[in-house]
Amino acid sequence: MTRHFNFCAGPAALPEAVLERAQAEMLDYQGHGLSVMEMSHRSDEFVAIARQAESDFRELLGVPDNYRVLFLQGGASLQFAMLPMNLLGKGGRANFIQTGIWGKKALAEIKRLDLPYHVAADSEPDGFTAVPRPQDIQLSSDVCYAHYTANETIGGLAYDYTPALTRADGSEVPLVCDMSSSILSAPLDVSKFGVIYAGAQKNIGPAGLTLVLVRDDLLDQARPGTPTLFDYKGISEAGSMLNTPPTYAWYLAGLVFQWLKHEIGGLKAMAEINQRKAQKLYAAIDHSDFYSNPIKVANRSIMNVPFVLADAALDSAFLAEADAAGLLNLKGHRSVGGMRASLYNAVPEEGVDALVAFMADFEQRKG
């Protein structure tokens, strides 16, 4: 069996140890005589799997007791609609801090719903190469919550700070954050946020699962008529089992959480590994006249590293040779082109070393 290095932005690499354990348990989960994907979601066996996964996730992130953890379907994109439905029921306006394509998609969805919104800051005039500074964020007077994307997967743009926003009367503005491509990559102070949401297929597990953390005081803010399966409060009360959840994806996410805890040593250790990986790749880019990255250094993502070649005519050759060398899925998003290496938790450091060596060789031959 040959395993290549997978730099896909999502669905992304999974830890080999997780895949091997899932393989071993595929036909017979711990002597129960069936696969997890065949279990009733209400069986004692699966309820135990679900509870352990949530407990491990809470422990990894230090999730306070006054937050609910929801295991949902629909991907992070569904949250673009669910969020305003759940948070704008008592008036006010959603504010958006825009730093890239995914933030723009969230904004487009609230426009489709014809709900009140305000763009508090937007880095598009600067080509999405840096995030707005705190003094540039201008909230509306009726702000209900502020939405931002911690790490723009496509553009490789990440926040170097967590916004701390208040209204004119000094009251806190709840932060709502899309952390799809950064969650679990480093320690996080969950208490600074009202809602955190993340699609699973980057650092959590396979596609088909979305995690949403909601602070308790925000569970009674839903708009009248919010569909039952969209209502955070009802979902929370049902333990994320109003209907059949994505059981196998939930199980695999639980295995990832155990891998992070027991094999990596927690999120502090994971962050150190991720920093090393990113530093190696950015150094290769910065010390070259052949490769370049447009993002302001302070806002460079450690998860998604876009780069371009000095001669775009060589893009196809670069990708073909990289693929042949076992360096997969380096093509940039169709909306921006170029290259992109996603360095999620499960991408091993030796994979980055192999990529850096390939880039140096390609430059020597083609530059």
Residues that are catalytic? 102, 178, 202
- C-beta separation of 96 from 124 below 8 A: no
- In 3D, which of 77, 364, 355, 73 has the Cα closest to residue 208? 73
Strands, E assignment, 33-142: 67-72, 93-98, 117-122
In 3D space, the residue among 141, 101, 105, 106 whose CA is nearest the CA of residue 120 turns out to be: 141
209 contacts: CB under 8 Å, gap ≥ 6: 71, 72, 73, 199, 200, 246, 249, 250, 253
The strand order across the sheet containing 93-98 reads 67-72, 210-215, 195-199, 175-178, 143-149, 93-98, 117-122
Three-state secondary-structure class, residue 297: helix
Q: Look up residue 20 and give its amino acid.
A: E
Are residues 170 and 320 in contact, defined by beta-carbon separation less than 8 angstroms? no
Nearest residue to 176 via CA among 66, 94, 93:
94
| Residue 364 CB contacts under 8 Å (≥ 6 apart), including other chains | none
Question: Rounded to 10 degrees, what is the CA torsion of 259, 149, 105, 145?
Answer: 120
